[in-house]
Structure 1
């Protein structure tokens, strides 16, 4: 693979990861949970509605899973709705 082909492949992977995080952010917003892209769009910071530290969500395992270390769980990226429901549960403290 040439340098430009490798760069293009890296860009495509980064764009795909950003879209996955954006989909999760949008699903959380629909549930009333504020979240924002951070760290050059490579992570999602999920804010708690009340006091407390936000959850930090990243993609792992070739962007196949959303991983939230604070909740000690991972969620498949092909189901952002379910991931948003579980994360919303965690940030609401229920």
Structure 2
């Protein structure tokens, strides 16, 4: 049984992808509560688009930092990167 703090606790994950050095995106940060707030704050400070996807964050939280995402998550992560690409295009980047 989960208590209310576990249900409402914010979670966040950060991904990076460099097609020149990586075959797939990798997890660069993840956390909950205060750590999640710091991840989100840093993303905002650096104008990094943020997408809310609690299911994906839950799945990513099972990975280790700097671990490449498993093939099963490629589709979900591709959707996130497509969203980021669209936001960047709208911002003129």
Normalised-by-shorter TM-score class: 0.3 to 0.5
User: TM-score, with normalisation over the residues of structure 2?
Assistant: 0.34
User: TM-score, with normalisation over the residues of structure 1?
Assistant: 0.34
